[in-house]
Amino acid sequence: MSQQDELLASLPSQQRNRHSPSIPTSTFPSPQEMDPNLRHRHPPAPSSSSPTPTDPTTTTTTSSTPTPPRRARLPHLLLETLRILTSLLLLNSLLSYFITSDPIFWSQPRPWFLRRGPLTTYLFHGPLHLTDAELSLYNGTDTHKPVLLALNGTIYDVSAGRRVYGPGGSYHVFAGRDAARGFVTGCFVEDGVPDLRGVEWTYVPVGIPRFGEEEEEEGEVGRGKEGEGDGKGRGGEEEEVGKKEEKKKKKISPELKSQREQALRQARKQVQATIEGWGKMFRGETGKGYFEVGKVVREEGWLEKLPRREICAQAERGRPKGKEGSGRDAGAAYRGGA
């Protein structure tokens, strides 16, 4: 018997009833009396054959917020990209306008496909293929035709400068022809031809001899003697006695040949740079309204049928002095003002 039961037995019956618990004593065993195996028993695992109960609340929540598929997000990404590009284009236009007064291109030349002249020409006419005779008809005398010129076989439309390239203009000599040689030498009247053979000598220093030329030096050839004649003896006519000086030639030294080769290589590069400088202007890359329209058609071997030319007097005078140096670009001033 426990101590509590003994205490209750010693009390009177009224007090015992007052202090006795109204709830019956639990019949469950104490934790010490419980089987340890029962205390650690786990709930049985659900059978694979039995259906798994589902929580309706969880099912409802999952089905109400489905994950959008990747295809559904694609239009949203495209719209965001378009919005960003539009904002950047608008910002570029505003900055370009306030800085250069050009709303888009920052005062840079527009590409040919954004200019009305080249675009309409290629869409409605296509590239032109003209002979030199046909090209001469587009020299600006006919106001219903564009003003064309050619440079090294490429035809350009310079109608935007009709006042300059048309009749009476300062550069009318260019119109209706391929004056590639004149663009290099600066002799636009004499060298208004497409033949560029030998034109590199415009940029070769004066001290470099051409091919076939030899250096000349002065020297003594011999001394005349008295009594030498044509068999007439002393009674004959006396021959002239004295020194006779003549010029004799010697071959070019290997060092000078090497200098000539180097000078010619440099001169050919400068010829190409000059032609390219004119080409950039006629393509409209310098901001002028000119553009390329086609090519000149020539028969095979046309260049060999033309006589070889020496550079004009103006180009000869403009050759650089000394064995080193660069020639003057005769067309630089024209490109700046045309």
In a domain, 214, yes or no: no
Instruction: Tabulate helix, strand, coil % of the chain (nearest 5).
Output: 40, 10, 50
Last residue of a domain, one of 109, 126, 151: 109
Predicted pLDDT of residue 207? 86
List the one residue out of 320, 283, 295, 322 whose CA is nearest residue 113.
283
Predicted pLDDT of residue 109? 55
* 247 vs 204, more confident: 204
Same domain, 85 and 174: no
| Mean pLDDT value across residues 231-246 | 46
Burial of 176 (0-12, 13-18, 19+ CB in 10 A): buried
In a domain, 20, yes or no: no
Same domain, 87 and 198: no
Same domain, 202 and 285: yes
Last residue of a domain, one of 109, 124, 158: 109
Predicted confidence band at 236 (pLDDT cuts at 50, 70, 90)?
very low
Same domain, 103 and 196: no
Question: Domain of 161?
Answer: 112-208+255-337
Amino acid identity, position 75: P
Structure token pair of residue 266: 């440099």
In a domain, 119, yes or no: yes
Q: Tell me if 260 sits within 8 A of 209, measured CB to CB.
A: yes
Same domain, 119 and 180: yes
Predicted pLDDT of residue 331? 61
In a domain, 177, yes or no: yes
Same domain, 180 and 282: yes
Q: Per-residue pLDDT for 244 more than 50?
A: no
Last residue of a domain, one of 109, 125, 149: 109
In a domain, 41, yes or no: no
Predicted pLDDT of residue 287? 77
Predicted confidence band at 139 (pLDDT cuts at 50, 70, 90)?
very high
Same domain, 135 and 86: no
In a domain, 70, yes or no: no
| Mean pLDDT value across residues 238-255 | 57
In the chain, DSSP assigns E strands to: 128-130, 148-151, 154-157, 215-223, 243-250, 291-296
* 124 vs 86, more confident: 86
Number of domains composing the chain: 2
In a domain, 264, yes or no: yes
Same domain, 164 and 85: no
Predicted confidence band at 334 (pLDDT cuts at 50, 70, 90)?
low
Predicted pLDDT of residue 98? 67
List the one residue out of 256, 276, 280 whose CA is nearest residue 268.
276
Amino acid identity, position 213: E
Q: Tell me if 110 sits within 8 A of 285, measured CB to CB.
A: no
pLDDT in tens, 258-272: 999 999 999 999 999
Tell me the CATH number at 313: 3.10.120.10
Q: Cα(141)–Cα(148) distance, rounded to whole angstroms? A: 11
Q: What angle do CA 134, 149, 129 make, to 5 degrees?
A: 45
Q: Per-residue pLDDT for 67 more than 70?
A: no
Same domain, 105 and 187: no
List the one residue out of 117, 154, 161, 110 whose CA is nearest residue 140.
161
Structure token pair of residue 23: 């709830």
Same domain, 129 and 201: yes
In a domain, 328, yes or no: yes
pLDDT in tens, 179-231: 999 999 999 889 999 999 999 999 999 988 888 765 544 444 444 444 444 44
Predicted pLDDT of residue 47? 55
Same domain, 172 and 263: yes
Which H or E run includes 23?
A: none
* Cα–Cα distance list, 291 to 140, 230, 232, 247 (Å): 16, 77, 82, 56
Q: What is the pTM of this model?
A: 0.56
Predicted pLDDT of residue 176? 96
Q: Cα(123)–Cα(118) distance, rounded to whole angstroms? A: 8
Same domain, 130 and 97: no
| Mean pLDDT value across residues 76-84 | 86
